[in-house]
Structure 1
């Protein structure tokens, strides 16, 4: 689910612009997936190398939490970048 700021009023935007601003991009999911893959690899390798394999499971939860946090931050950033872009260059709604 995309992060959404309910404090931002999007009613002044056309339906097309609202759809553009609220749609998540593929890059945020790719980057957060990469962060999860790196975190998962580290969470697997370190406990096995030091002989404490039972620490693998908490490491998975940490990797998941970090990747979700990264996704939320990137979606917030993308939302405000798109909102600024649309407010600077609005496209008229064809339904009006």
Structure 2
């Protein structure tokens, strides 16, 4: 099976989080699914797949936000290489 990475900012209660968790549930029989989040918020949903928290929460301020985008991109690149990810699905505008 191919390896699929689903990226969502967090798993708090909300629409994009529900979309990510439901997508993982629908595709779990066809793909090895890993879900990555950027911050540990109180989870409103529990995905039925491997879950990795990158622990790069949002930061205030323009320069901090720009640095965060760069840090997240680097960590995702490392994660994709380590897990041999074939496809990535990003859910949400900050994922």
- Which structure would you say has the larger Rg? 1
Structure with higher strand content: 2
**TM-score normalised according to structure 1 size:** 0.29
